[in-house]
Structure 1
Amino acid sequence: MNHILAALDPADHDALTTDLRVEHFDSGHVLHEADEPLDHAYFPYDAVVAHSAEQDAGPAVETATIGREGVVSATALIGDDRPFERAVVQLSGQIAVLPAKAVSALHDRSHAFRRLLGAYVQAYAAQMAQSALCSASHSSEARLSRWLLMCVDRTGMTGPLPADSGMLGRLLGVGRPTVTVVTGTLQTAGLIRSAREGITIVDREGLEEACCDCYGRVRRVYDRLLPHARR
């Protein structure tokens, strides 16, 4: 279940239920492009969605990921309806889809929903700030550890995370040979198991120790701002 939807007041939840549908989206599916009107709101259940910023020349750069703790492109639902970023499904799974206008209308009339969505936007901003620091300051091993832990938190998956070297290379901003070295380092340390079907966390406690402090800082922000959204 999506944590934001689960934390809605009963009346607010009922107001959205008639328009809600749950769909399965495959990895690579584009939910929306940047600077285009947002027609739908997406609340991931067990999928992970990546936001990316575009540039005139060169590849897009991933800026943040969203899972069951939040909603895709939340700022476009409470202000201008043209999201700044592109949103692509990174890990396949189920996502609740709602008309963007229905979510915006509920935001306008429900004080409780405004507070809930506002708290999420604040937590998301903290995540983006910490991610920028992490990308500039920390090793590929620490950043991959952080991403794996976040994915498990956001999907609830206990089996392999279906992440290939191409995806991890784009995530870390490195080439495939470096991805092989990084995953090999974590596997040799007994923290993960990398196989054709994906990456499995073998020692979560050890992976948290190998991770930079960015993971814990962001998680504490979400727990503080959205204590009722994790049930």
Structure 2
Amino acid sequence: MAHVSNVRTSRSVPAHQIINANAIAALKTKEKGACTEQTARSAPRALAGLHGHNPRHNGLLAALPAADYERLLPHLEFVEMPFGMTICEAGEQMQHVYFPTNSIVSLLYETADGASSETAVIGYEGVVGHDVFMGGGASLNRAFIKTAGYGFRVRASVLMEEFSRGGALQQLLLRFTQALFTQMAHTVACNRHHTIVQQLCRWLLLSLDRLQSNQISMTQDLIANMLGVRRESVTEAARKLQEEGLIHYSRGQITVVDRVGLEDHICECYASIKRVYEGLLLN
């Protein structure tokens, strides 16, 4: 397995990257359609700070009934999620739970000597911080942002209070966690039993499913770190896919040219993961 210490950065989110409660209040006012003269003047300016994002851009928050959503909304903080930022180290207690909108978070399992590999990815479909509401306490993985973007976060204590109510939020979080555990299990099996080409195709497709484009910004070194293999193995696999016209790779930018072709190369792991996510989260 490979080291990923080269992507460690500060875990804290700078204060200027957190939009204050005025933006959330303006969003709530806009959604309710109740707008006074004063809020009409302030709402556009406050909402501009959200960069076009909305909590409903996260799949779990979008699935909440109106009453549950409005109860949680005042507690949500809009955050920038820059590439390489570590949200939580393994063994630490998370103080916030994150709902990505267009960023992708990688969960990494690390050994005592610093070697690591990716166990799962989380994007707009889910939540980062399942250890909080599953009662496990400290995080088992290091969570770091592998694709920059934005999201919303809520204090762990607030989420736990909402989770304890039962109802829709609890059910959604439990169903997502089941899907996440399924992804972890298939990832472990895939990394052990399938070829590097199959692993790379699975990794690319899981990333594409969480992006709005066919481009992925990622160096081969970092991909190797994620898969827990040698860089030379990733270079060879990427060259094979590029020669077949499935991807184009240049200077840390991967463009998927033929998604169907990638799907022809994958093992059963990707299809199984996708089927579980669709069954648990889209129904």
* Residues 145-198 of structure 1: CA deviation (Å, up to 9, x unaligned): 11111111112223x200101111112222222222111100111111111251
Aligned residue for 1:191? 246
Q: Secondary structure at the match of 1:154?
A: coil
Aligned residue for 1:171? 226
Aligned residue for 1:44? 100
> Contact (CA 8 Å) 2:90, 2:140: kept in 1 or not?
yes
Higher deviation after alignment, 199-208 or 177-186? 177-186
> Contact (CA 8 Å) 1:48, 1:154: kept in 2 or not?
yes
Q: CA deviation at 1:124?
A: 0.9
Structure 1 counterpart of 2:142, from 86, 106, 112: 86
Please give the residue correspondences for 1:66-85 in structure 2 after superposition, counting only pairs within 5 Å. Answer: 66-85=122-141
Q: CA deviation at 1:131?
A: 0.8
Q: CA deviation at 1:98?
A: 1.2
Stretches of structure 2 that go unaligned for 5 or more consecutive residues are 1-56
Higher deviation after alignment, 72-81 or 128-137? 72-81
User: Is residue 153 of structure 2 the alignment partner of residue 97 of structure 1?
Assistant: yes
Identical aligned residues as a percent: 35
Instruction: Give the greater-gyration-radius structure (CA).
Output: 2
> If the length of structure 1 is used for normalisation, what is the TM-score?
0.93
User: Is residue 115 of structure 2 the alignment partner of residue 59 of structure 1?
Assistant: yes
Structure 2 counterpart of 1:12, from 55, 61, 68: 68
Query: C-alpha distance in 1, partners of 2:78/2:64?
Result: 17
> If the length of structure 2 is used for normalisation, what is the TM-score?
0.77
Query: C-alpha distance in 2, partners of 1:77/1:157?
Result: 32
Q: Secondary structure at the match of 1:161?
A: strand
> Contact (CA 8 Å) 1:34, 1:86: kept in 2 or not?
yes
Query: C-alpha distance in 1, partners of 2:210/2:152?
Result: 14
Q: Secondary structure at the match of 2:217?
A: coil
Greater relative contact order, per chain length (Cα 8 Å cut-off, separation 6+): 1
User: Is residue 178 of structure 2 the alignment partner of residue 128 of structure 1?
Assistant: no
Query: C-alpha distance in 2, partners of 1:37/1:173?
Result: 26
> Contact (CA 8 Å) 1:78, 1:107: kept in 2 or not?
no
RMSD: 1.4
